[in-house]
Amino acid sequence: MKKSIRFAKISAIGSYVPEKILTNDDLSKMIDTSDEWIQARTGIRERRIAADGQITSDLCVEAARAAIKKAGISAEDVDLILVGTITSDMPFPSTAVFVQSKLGLQNIPCFDYNVACSGTQYGIALANALLTSSDSYKNILLICGDKMTSVVDWNDRATCVLLGDGAGAAIFSATEKEEENSVIDVLLGADGKLWELLHVPAGGSSEPASVKTIEDGKHFFKMKGRDVFREAIRIMEGCAREILQRNGMTVADIDFVVLHQANLRIIEALQERLKIPDEKVCITVDKYGNTSGSSCLIAIDTFARSGRIRSGSKILSVGFGAGLTWGAAILKF
Ligand SMILES: CC(C)(COP(=O)(O)OP(=O)(O)OC[C@H]1O[C@@H](n2cnc3c(N)ncnc32)[C@H](O)[C@@H]1OP(=O)(O)O)[C@@H](O)C(=O)NCCC(=O)NCCS
């Protein structure tokens, strides 16, 4: 395998959320909840819901097209597709192969990875490693996409108010110019002992789908909300501190902090602990709820489109999700 000195440049980021909006007031007509409760506990005002028949690969393709267009390349220039998802179109094959064919591509390698809400950070690590470790790829398409409403129990008010559908994508392009390098550092971690905090019990090899698993609602997203809340703050704080410290940086060296968009209270707690001023924090959880692994890519794209994140901006992004998994990345645009 030939190897020249290469760096990974993020040429573009794109995102997609479905048109249909489900507000807190809409939810309060379906279950025993209220706009006041949801906003006070989560900061979420509304979320996006996929249209009938719109599946995870469709969300991913929309985000991919936006990133490809912004990068000024054509789909044919992409030579590897990575999809971070926990709501794949089918148990197998991967969602990435459906994305490949919907983009009109063939033969290029494609695979999924499953790390839930840390999808952006794990995806950055994967794309960066693949691009810089060989000369095989010029443009890697990273997509994180989930149709979380496909695993939502609309009768469970403790979880259904939190989630939304969406996808984010990024084009990682190989460059030999170190000054164009976008990935300053990535840190990843996981603790499988805590798997029970967030999971879908049935539909896998441990409990294949059956009439009984459906009757018992075991195909739905389950969460121990209070434990997740506590662990999210503890782990993301640790991650952020560690990656900043090992790069000799502080929050003052960072222009924008993009934390996993699960709950505004979690973001505010981290802001307080890490002393991050309001103007450095990107928030989209109010509009989109928790879109799983895509949430950080969607937030970066939203703030880039508003003109706040610009060329040269340094971003610290921290994610946390089912597994438990976590990750942090420092990027330069
Ligand atoms: C889910 C979460 C918002 C719940 O907030 P909380 O303050 O912990 O609330 P609790 O679960 O203790 O529930 C408190 C009460 O509110 C009720 N409640 C739960 N959801 C409700 C809703 N949507 N509307 C109204 N009441 C609700 C509970 O039934 C409970 O009532 P009770 O006291 O009569 O039993 C919070 O735990 C959380 O955000 N956890 C992290 C979730 C997350 O980030 N998940 C994704 C990680 S990637």
| Ligand 1 atom nearest residue 320's Cα | 48
Residue 84: the pLDDT is 98
Catalytic residue selected from 160, 260, 282, 296: 260
CA dist., res. 26 & res. 291, Å (int)? 19
| 117 belongs to the catalytic site | yes
Report whether residue 33 contacts ligand 1, using a CB cutoff of 6 Å. yes
Instruction: Quote the percentage of the chain above a pLDDT of 70.
Output: 99
* pTM exceeds 0.85, yes or no: yes
23: its two tokens: 């507000």
Low-confidence ranges of the chain (pLDDT < 70): 1-4
CA dist., res. 28 & res. 71, Å (int)? 41
CA dist., res. 12 & res. 309, Å (int)? 12
**Segment (H or E) for 112:** strand 110-113
* 41, 152, 161, 296: residue to mutate for ligand 1 pocket, most atoms within 8 A of CB: 41
CA dist., res. 92 & res. 140, Å (int)? 22
289: its two tokens: 């709820």
CB count, 10 Å around CB of 4? 8
Residue 310: the pLDDT is 84
Residue 2: the pLDDT is 58
Helix (H, G, I), strand (E, B) or coil at 198: strand
Residue 180: the pLDDT is 93
Residue type, 213: T
Distance in Å from the first CA to the final CA of the chain: 29
Report whether residue 154 contacts ligand 1, using a CB cutoff of 6 Å. no
73: its two tokens: 């390349």
Q: Tell me how long the chain is.
A: 333
Residue 4: the pLDDT is 66
Residue 326: the pLDDT is 98
Catalytic residue selected from 117, 144, 160, 296: 117
Quick: pLDDT tens for 182-224.
Answer: 999 999 999 999 999 999 999 999 999 999 999 999 999 999 9
Residue closest by Cα to atom 35 of ligand 1: 158
| 290 belongs to the catalytic site | yes
Quick: pLDDT tens for 293-305.
Answer: 999 999 999 999 9
CA dist., res. 330 & res. 314, Å (int)? 7
CA of 73 to the centre of ligand 1 (A): 44
Judged by phi (left if over 0) then psi (alpha if -120 to 50, else beta), residue 67 lies in alpha
CB count, 10 Å around CB of 75? 17
CA of 159 to the centre of ligand 1 (A): 8
- Catalogue all structural domains in the chain, each as residue range(s) with its CATH number: 7-179 (3.40.47.10), 183-332 (3.40.47.10)
